[in-house]
Structures are given as structure tokens and as C-alpha cells.
């Protein structure tokens, strides 16, 4: 009887301990409004949260893309030189336990689209730059997770996160994130048009 009661008490304490440690992911807020993702927000994060999947060291932001879709630049700039920022982009939102955070894969019902780190040169910061990417996004809700990449310090460190029109970022960004597939018909049309132009040149 004593053994059973002790085991019950131990299980109860363990459950309460895990429950106390577990916390649902919360969002800092919305970037842009009315289906227009353009806007800027600021916050502070830890020095290693994105790199080591530590939810308490990163910020979650939401933005929406309207029915026409969007081609946008997404980039972040550090306010503190000690921060090496990076971010991951997902389609959808989540409220799962923060221990489930994965900055490079699907989690919590969200689909991982890509990540950015060091694409933008920062003067005086050595080899580590700020993150940025051009995204081609279909209609929907998106989550952006930003944090520190590989810093030896805990922070918090300040940052500014931007979503803007094509060409407004401080550098030419790689086109690595897309949720808008190019229809095969467009490729076929382009190939046919190129063939016609080549034939015309040969005749000329």
C-alpha cells in the first residue's frame, strides 16, 4: 500500500513539475494588417535561441498575405552588435508547447518554408551578417520565428524585423522561399517562345 501510494505521489509531482515547465508558444503580434504583410516591428531576443531551438530566447511574429499573394523582401537588422540574428519562416500558426520548437522543420501543424542567416553584410561585424530573403507567398497566414544564431552571450539583444516591397531591402536577397509554384504551362510557353525567336534569327 505504501509503495503504491509513494508511486502515485511521485507520478503526481512529476506531472505537476512538467506542467509547470511547459508553456504554450505565444506571439509578439502581427506584422502588417489587412492581408498586407508590409511593416516593421522591433523586439529583443536571446543570443542562441534560434540556433539551439530555445523558445524562451526567440520571438514569434504573425503576418497575413491577401488573396492576390505577395512577392516581398523579409529581413532583420540588429540593434546590438552582440546579436547575430537569424529567422525561420513557416506557413500557418501554432500554440503547441514551446519545447516542440524546431527552427528547421515542420512542427505544431506549421509547414517549414525556409530560413535566413548572414545574407546581409554588417560593417564591422566580421563574418556574421544579418538575415534576409525574398519570398513569393500565396494567400495565407505565416509565422516568422526570430532569434540569435550563434552568440556566446545570453542577451536580451534588440532587433528590427522588416517586411517590405521588392527592392526595399538593404541588399539583393536570394530567392529561396516560395509557396507559389510556377505552372508548367508557363515554362512550356516560354520554351516555345524562345524556339520561335531562335528560328526567326536563323532565318534572318
The CATH number linked to 61 is: 2.60.120.380
**Residue 49 domain-assigned (yes or no):** yes
**Residue 1 domain-assigned (yes or no):** no
- Please calculate the CA angle 24-162-105 and round it to the nearest 5 degrees: 45
**Preceding omega of 49 cis (within 30 degrees of 0):** no
Give residue 124's pLDDT.
62
**Residue 83 domain-assigned (yes or no):** yes
**Residue 12 domain-assigned (yes or no):** no
**Residue 135 domain-assigned (yes or no):** yes
**Residue 8 domain-assigned (yes or no):** no
**Residue 127 domain-assigned (yes or no):** yes
Q: Domain range holding 167? A: 24-191
Give residue 61's pLDDT.
98
| Strands lying side by side in the sheet with 175-178 | 39-45, 157-165, 70-78, 132-137, 175-178
Task: Give the number of domains in the chain.
Answer: 1
Run of H or E residues at 166: none
Low-confidence ranges of the chain (pLDDT < 50): 1-20, 183-194, 196-204
Give residue 201's pLDDT.
43
Give residue 149's pLDDT.
87
Distance, CA of 36 to CA of 15 (rounded, Å): 43
Strands 70-78 and 157-165: antiparallel
| 15-31 core/surface letters (b: 16 or more CB in 10 A; e: else) | eeeeeeeeeebeebeeb
**Residue 202 domain-assigned (yes or no):** no
Give residue 169's pLDDT.
64
Amino acid at each position: 500500500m505504501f509503495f503504491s501510494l509513494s508511486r502515485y505521489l511521485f507520478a503526481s509531482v512529476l506531472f505537476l513539475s512538467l506542467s509547470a515547465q511547459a508553456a504554450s508558444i505565444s506571439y509578439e503580434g502581427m506584422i502588417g494588417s489587412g492581408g498586407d504583410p508590409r511593416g516593421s516591428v522591433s523586439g529583443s531576443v536571446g543570443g542562441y535561441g534560434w540556433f539551439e531551438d530555445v523558445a524562451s530566447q526567440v520571438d514569434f511574429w504573425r503576418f497575413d498575405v491577401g488573396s492576390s499573394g505577395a512577392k516581398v523582401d523579409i529581413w532583420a537588422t540588429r540593434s546590438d552588435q552582440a546579436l547575430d540574428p537569424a529567422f525561420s519562416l513557416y506557413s500557418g500558426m501554432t500554440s503547441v508547447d514551446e519545447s516542440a520548437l524546431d527552427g528547421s522543420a515542420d512542427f505544431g501543424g506549421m509547414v517549414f518554408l525556409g530560413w535566413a542567416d548572414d545574407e546581409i553584410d554588417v560593417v564591422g561585424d566580421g563574418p556574421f551578417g544579418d538575415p534576409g530573403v525574398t519570398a513569393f507567398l500565396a494567400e495565407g497566414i505565416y509565422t516568422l520565428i526570430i532569434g540569435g544564431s550563434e552568440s556566446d552571450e545570453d542577451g536580451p539583444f534588440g532587433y528590427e524585423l522588416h517586411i517590405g516591397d521588392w527592392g526595399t531591402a538593404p541588399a539583393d536577397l536570394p530567392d529561396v522561399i516560395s509557396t507559389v509554384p510556377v505552372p508548367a504551362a508557363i515554362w512550356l510557353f516560354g520554351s516555345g517562345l524562345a524556339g520561335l525567336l531562335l528560328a526567326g534569327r536563323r532565318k534572318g
